[in-house]
Amino acid sequence: MTTITPSMKPSAPPGPPATASVPVAIGPLRFLGRALGTLWANGKARIGLVILAANIIIALFAPLLAPHSPTSTDFKPYSDPSASNWFGTTGNGQDVFSQMLYGARVSLLVGLLAGAAATVFAVVVGLIAGYRPGVVDDLLSFVTNLTLVLPGLPLMIVLAAYLPSRSVWTIVLVVAFTGWAYGARVIRSQAKTLRTREFVSASLLAGERLPRVVFREILPNMTSLVAGSFFGAATAAVMAEASLEFLGLGNPSTVSWGTILYYAQQQNALLTGQWVLVFAPGLAIALLATSFTLINFGIDALSNPRLREK
């Protein structure tokens, strides 16, 4: 029997490339809605979204929700929880409950802002490094790896200690400056992989210019990666902000969860029995950070089907 050599496969049209599909442009609002819907379907992410929403509401409506002004020192200092001061008062006679509500603003602001700044920087560096092999990539990768290797908190402490003014913006700056490297590394490797995908080559062959290709073809395929980076950076930012303020590197007159802890430590709240002063801010920080992490679980599951919940 003669050997039959295959020379053509059945002419079923080829399916789309295995992972990245050619993106369809849809409006940003619908995109956001769809993204939220998908996240909501994931159990862990749902809890995260609820906690985040609660924090946002508290931050926005703090003036309405807080029974007193957070900075007024009218109350008897070092007092335990009472009818008028649900969480007690600080050593300076300020109402802790109101401070907690207003404190949400700072933590959210720093978390989201520093997270966003770090992510933007990470995306820019990652895309350029991933897409331009050679010297540019080597240089950017080296800087990224160096920033990754340097210990984060000590670096932030040193930077913050040198800067003359102490404010929330100092903290945002310092956190963003040190927090971009991880995202950049991840995005760079993804950009490198996508660079060789057919639909990118197709666009370039069709005459599209590189920046357009990057923004309209590559970036939409990395949304879950960028979102994941953002929430990771935001988590780190919230923790870093709290840590820096606890160490006294923030502006002591800011009302934030970290400064509540700073004063609690300075005034030995534990020794005077005011455990609420320590418990409440810590729990709030933990909850906010956890919410970001939980949302990230949902994003992880979106991009890696193996991790999806059954």
Partner 1 sequence: MALLEARGVNVVYEPSRGARIWSVRDVDLEIGQGEFVGLVGESGCGKTTLGFALTRMLRPPARLTSGLIRFDGTDIAALSGERLRRSRRNGVALVLQSGMNALNPVRTIERHFGDVLRAHGRPGEATRLSAAREVGARLLEQVRLDATVLRRYPHELSGGMRQRVAIALALALRPRLIVFDEPTTALDVVVQQAVLQTIKDLQRDHGFTAILISHDLGVVLNTTDRVLVMYAGRIVEDQPSTELAHGEHHPYTEALLGCYGDPRADSVELHGIPGTPPDLSQPAAGCAFAPRCPLAEEICIRVNPALTPLGAGVGACHVRARAQRAPVVEVGHVG
Partner 2 sequence: MRYVLGKVGLFLVTLWAAVTLNFVLPRLMPGSPVDAALGRLAQSGRPVTEAERRAVEIQLGLPDTNPFVQYWEYWRSLVRLQFGRSYSFPTETVAQTIGKALPWTLVLVGVTTVVAFIIGTLLGIYAGWRRNRLPDASVTIGSTLLGAFPPFWLGLLALYVLAFQLDWFPIKGGYVPGATPNLSPTFLGDAAWHSVLPAATLALTSLSGWVFGMRNNMINTLGEDYVVFAEANGLRSRTVALLYAARNALLPNVTAFGLTLGGVIGGSVLVEGVFSYPGLGNLLFIAVSNRDYPLMQALFLAITVSMLVAIFLVDLLYFRLDPRVRR
With H, G, I as helix, E, B as strand and everything else as coil, classify residue 17.
coil
Q: Is 271 one of the binding residues for partner 2 (CB under 8 A)? A: yes
Q: Is 13 one of the binding residues for partner 1 (CB under 8 A)? A: yes
186 within 8 A of 119, measured Cβ to Cβ: no
Q: Is 187 one of the binding residues for partner 2 (CB under 8 A)? A: no
With H, G, I as helix, E, B as strand and everything else as coil, classify residue 95.
strand
Q: Is 306 one of the binding residues for partner 1 (CB under 8 A)? A: no
Nearest approach in angstroms of CB 23 to partner 1 is 20
Q: Which residues contact 107 (CB under 8 A, 6 or more apart)?
A: 55, 238, 241, 242, 256, 257, 258, 284, 285, 288
Of these, 38, 157, 197, 220, which contacts partner 2 (CB under 8 A)? 157
| Nearer residue to partner 2 within complex by CB, 94 or 291 | 291
Of these, 22, 120, 148, 204, which contacts partner 2 (CB under 8 A)? 148
CA count, 13 A, side-chain hemisphere, 264: 27
Between CA 150 and CA 139 the distance in angstroms is 17
Q: Is 7 one of the binding residues for partner 1 (CB under 8 A)? A: yes
Among candidate residues 260, 254, 308, 253, the one with its CA nearest the CA of residue 284: 260
For residues 35 to 64, the per-residue mask of contacts with partner 1, x marking binding by CB under 8 A and - elsewhere, is ------x-----------------------
Q: Is 293 one of the binding residues for partner 2 (CB under 8 A)? A: yes
- DSSP string of 166-221? -SHHHHHHHHHHHHSHHHHHHHHHHHHHHHTSHHHHHHHHTT--HHHHIIIIIGGG
Q: Is 18 one of the binding residues for partner 2 (CB under 8 A)? A: no
Q: Which partner in partner 2, partner 1, none is near 146 (CB below 5 to 8 A by kind)?
A: partner 2
118 within 8 A of 241, measured Cβ to Cβ: no
Nearest approach in angstroms of CB 219 to partner 2 is 25
280 within 8 A of 258, measured Cβ to Cβ: no
Q: Which residues bind partner 1 (CB under 8 A)?
A: 1-13, 41, 308-310
Q: Which residues bind partner 2 (CB under 8 A)?
A: 44, 142, 145-146, 148-155, 157-159, 161-164, 182, 235, 239, 242-243, 246-249, 261, 265, 270-271, 275, 278-279, 281-282, 285-287, 289-290, 293-294, 300, 304, 306-307, 309-310
